[in-house]
Amino acid sequence: MSKETSVQWFPGHMAKTRRIMQSNLKLVDVVVEIIDARIPYSSRNPEMDRLVGSKPRLVLLNKSDTADENANNKWINYFKNKGVSVLAVDCKSGKNINKFKTVLGELMADKIQSWNNKGMVGRPIRMMIVGIPNVGKSSFINKMAGAKLAKVEDRPGVTRGKQWVSLDDNLELLDMPGVLWPKFEDKTVGEHLAFTGAVKDNVIDSEYLACRLVEMLCDMYPDKLCERYSISLEDLPENDEMMGGCVKGYEILQRIGKKRGFLVSGGEINTERTASTVIDEFRGGKIGRITLELP
Ligand code: G4P
């Protein structure tokens, strides 16, 4: 696929997902929307607001361990200012998962009060997890439920055979998360999703992707980039759309490959190997805690 072609999602999937999501939403009291703290904008579904409507929603800024701490705080303030409940978590280590019930309780306080007033004391809160593929939905469910309940599959919507998992007397979880498609229309969004591994690797050429990534890092986190690869970012060529728009990134990639000694016969730099190394190291957090999008 050409680097200019944006990532596509089969339209039939979207319609199906939308339908399943809507029917599942009717069953729950609250939606827990998981987003990626490194790309909070790109990892949100464009239709989320419309689908969820006025139902209470809690946003989990997941993978916050891999994101820039300052940026996490900015995003938390951003959501709070918009009146949206938010919690930064790390579903891999479990950090802040213990705060989840408190935040949920605050969000649902009025609802619980109204249930109590109607005599429905102890009515459990039913919740559903939604998010784009790979954002950490299964990890969250596993952390909450303490067992391997959710299968890690990039499947739209929620599967048949819905099951409620009782997390405690007052909290029930739909055991399959709602998988939402990300917003692909925007080329930058597509790239950000590819950087983090939210979309499949074979969709965008890896050398092109790595060039775009190092260009972003050069602008946003030059110190971390220099430090990780022991390179200088002096005297870089300017990007020129006539040249394909990535000369700067390609030069950075070459400097990295040279430092790492990634050569092919003839002494040329193996930019393909360099590209996959940089992408892997970014995803693995080796370049540092990085957030690519600010509110
Ligand atoms: P999904 O259900 O939304 O598709 O996502 P899933 O939980 O399968 O998580 C996708 C990947 O993201 C997994 O890595 C998972 O470990 C990782 N992950 C989830 N939450 C966090 C987090 O808060 N921090 C970090 N650093 N990683 C997180 P994987 O490579 O597919 O598997 P593995 O590393 O668990 O073996």
| pTM listed for this prediction | 0.88
| pLDDT score of 3 | 38
Identify the residue with better confidence: 15 or 213: 213
Is any ligand 1 atom within 6 A of the Cβ of residue 151?
Answer: no
Nearest to 214 by CA among 204, 202, 203, 226: 226
> Band of the pLDDT at 221, cuts 50, 70, 90?
very high
- State the Cα–Cα distance between residues 294 and 216, nearest whole angstrom: 13
Q: What is the mean pLDDT of residues 237-260?
A: 86
> Band of the pLDDT at 160, cuts 50, 70, 90?
very low
Is any ligand 1 atom within 6 A of the Cβ of residue 152?
Answer: yes
Structural domains for the chain = 12-175 (3.40.50.300), 205-283 (1.10.1580.10)
pLDDT at residue 155 is higher than 60? no
Is any ligand 1 atom within 6 A of the Cβ of residue 87?
Answer: no
Give the residue carrying structure tokens 């802040």.
96
Name the closest-CA residue to atom 24, ligand 1: 63
| pLDDT score of 9 | 54
Q: Give the tens place of pLDDT for each residue, 169-198.
A: 788 888 767 777 777 778 888 899 999 988
- State the Cα–Cα distance between residues 99 and 88, nearest whole angstrom: 10
Residue 137 CA, ligand 1 centroid: distance in Å: 8
Neighbours of 190 (CB within 10 A): 23
Ligand 1 pocket mutation pick from 134, 175, 195 by most atoms within 8 angstroms of CB: 134
Q: Give the tens place of pLDDT for each residue, 192-212.
A: 999 998 877 666 789 999 999
| pLDDT score of 245 | 72
Is any ligand 1 atom within 6 A of the Cβ of residue 136?
Answer: yes
Is any ligand 1 atom within 6 A of the Cβ of residue 158?
Answer: no
| pLDDT score of 11 | 63
Q: Give the tens place of pLDDT for each residue, 82-135.
A: 999 999 999 999 999 999 999 999 999 999 999 999 999 888 899 999 988 889
Q: What is the mean pLDDT of residues 238-255?
A: 84
Residues in contact with 109: Cβ distance below 8 Å, sequence separation at least 6, in sequence order:
none
Name the closest-CA residue to atom 10, ligand 1: 134
- State the Cα–Cα distance between residues 261 and 276, nearest whole angstrom: 14
Number of helices followed by number of strands (H, E) in the chain: 11, 7
User: Relative to the CA of 142, which ligand 1 atom is closest?
Assistant: 7
Name the closest-CA residue to atom 31, ligand 1: 134
DSSP β-ladder status, 164-168 and 171-174:
antiparallel
Name the closest-CA residue to atom 26, ligand 1: 63
Is any ligand 1 atom within 6 A of the Cβ of residue 43?
Answer: no
Q: Give the tens place of pLDDT for each residue, 5-45.
A: 334 556 666 777 778 888 888 889 999 999 999 999 999 88
pLDDT at residue 157 is higher than 80? no
- State the Cα–Cα distance between residues 257 and 264, nearest whole angstrom: 11
Nearest to 182 by CA among 197, 167, 169, 168: 197
Identify the residue with better confidence: 259 or 6: 259
| pLDDT score of 5 | 37
Give the residue carrying structure tokens 């050398």.
207
Q: How far is CA 152 from CA 105, 106, 148, in A?
A: 28, 30, 10
Q: Is 32 exposed, middle or buried (0-12, 13-18, 19+ CB in 10 A)?
A: buried
Tell me the two tokens of residue 97: 């998962």
Is any ligand 1 atom within 6 A of the Cβ of residue 120?
Answer: no
